[in-house]
A = this chain, B = another copy of it.
Amino acid sequence: MAKISALSGFPEWLPAERLVEQHVIDVFREVAELHGFSGIETRAVEPLEQLLRKGEIDKEVYVLRRLHAEEDGRAPGDDSGADPSRTLGLHFDLTVPLARYVLEHQNDLSFPLRRYQVQKVWRGERPQDGRFREFYQADLDVIGQDTLPGHIEAEVAVVMAEILRRLPLPAVTIHANTRKLSEGFFRSLGLEDRTAVLRALDKLPKIGEAAVRALLVEDAGASPEQADACLAFASIRTRDGSFADRVRELGGTGEMVEEGIAELTAVVERVEAAVPGVILADLSIARGLDYYTGTVFESFVEGHEGLGSICSGGRYDSLATDNRHTYPGVGLSIGLSRLVARMLSAQMARPSRPVPTCVLVSVADEESRAQSDAVARALRSRGIPCEVAPTAAKLGKQIRYADRRGIPYVWFPAADGSDEVKDIRSGEQQAVDPGTWEPPAADRTVQILAGDVTE
């Protein structure tokens, strides 16, 4: 037997940990469906040429090869790796596959398409800095055909805010900015190289104000006064529409600035109305503004800001396009595995018990196993998860077995119907009927508890 060792970058959870991950996925799905989003899954592979269209991260793609193709000396053709249109790679996000799915199935979809998607993606990065090579992404997008109303930007943020609020996390804040506001402001200051300005501001959390000011002057061609105005702009964070006046006070003016103000105010107000306290206008948000074309979002967990944004996205004017149609979209994506890894390591969440089982039905002797099976059947018919003891060991041993697995109740069937059930945490034991006994609601199925909950 070969030595077994963990693979760096490929996280794997124990059963109790998986309950937390499953809960996060369940909440995501439940809230998305409450808002009328359809779940889809796309195949794990895409032609390499599709994956490389995004350009920047081509080094990270895992390319697939059938083992026999390799033995064949990599002859040209299917799976050979020689032809990028026929070579397959594992998807590294869920956006490239969505674009392909929308084009491939456009005649069978109705638009705006409201879709959520929770799947694993793969990136061949060096597994450092808490980066995984295999991880779940959870995406939420609304895709229009040719047009997509602006208010969808707020709507997608609302759905994501409801998801994040329902998870056992410290307070999460969704930071929003819009491209028009930043670009209009830099333009009204007279700055030409707005990409350089964005790039400099994006470094604020890492290198600090002084270094960013230097970058703005040296790389972005700003005067010291312009640099100060940019830094003052980037320091604006408000829970409501009051950011607008501060932008104007700093000299922000013109049509683009006012459009940006109107857009961001609408997003902030609509999200605040739906999920009070979650949204923050944050004009320092720069990352993605060169890619997204409208509102852009990043989200941070209180006390875990070092984790970076756990949920990002925004509006893009063209997810996909063909000869007939352009597909604009608004999307937000949670880096789910990274979030779950932190939830587990920081003990933000834990399952109320490590297994689904609520009741262990004991077995007095192998001859009466059928009777224990019947009790278990009666409990399950009412939705109470249970298992029957694997062996007819001494009852003390069966109780220890339940204890070791974290099963809260042990049932003792009796031939004369005088069954009893024991709560092995309290030791309390009572006479019960398998047709009517109910565990407390908190014990029925596994609950995911916030880490700071004391029982």
Contact = CB atoms under 8 A, between A and B. Distances in A.
> Which bucket holds chain A's interface residue count?
35 or more
A321 B1 contact: yes
A13 interface: yes
Interface string A108-143: 111010110000101010000000001000000000
A104 B4 contact: yes
A321 B68 CA distance: 29
Interface in A35-81: 35-45, 47-50, 53, 58-70, 79, 81
Give how many copies assemble into the complex.
Answer: 2
Given A4-B104, A67-B58, A70-B81, A13 B40 contact: yes
A355 B36 contact: yes
Interface in A341-383: 354-357, 366, 369-370, 373-374, 377, 380, 383
Nearest to A115: B15
Contact of A124 (B68, B100, B356): B68
A36 B322 contact: no
Given A36-B385, A114-B387, A44 B273 contact: no
B12 A42 contact: yes
A242 interface: no
A34 B115 contact: no
Given A61-B66, A79-B124, A22 B36 contact: no
Contact of A66 (B63, B112, B445): B63
A291 interface: no
Contacts of A258: none
A390 B152 contact: yes
Given A18-B41, A112-B390, A63 B70 contact: yes
A41 B12 contact: yes
A351 B63 CA distance: 36
Nearest to A148: B390
A181 interface: no
A273 B370 CA distance: 9
Given A39-B22, A66-B63, A2 B377 contact: no
A14 interface: yes
A134 B134 CA distance: 17
Contacts of A33: 356, 385, 445
Contacts of A41: 12-13, 18, 21
A276 to B, nearest CB: 12
Interface string A81-95: 100010011100000
A237 B256 CA distance: 79
A388 interface: yes
A404 to B, nearest CB: 6
Nearest to A32: B356
Interface in A174-196: none
Contacts of A5: 104
Interface in A439-455: 445
Contacts of A38: 15, 18-19, 354-356
B65 A59 contact: no
Contacts of A88: 7
19 contacts: A2-B53, A4-B100, A4-B322, A5-B104, A6-B104, A10-B43, A11-B43, A19-B39, A33-B445, A34-B380, A34-B384, A36-B356, A36-B357, A36-B407, A38-B354, A149-B391, A151-B369, A273-B374, A274-B373
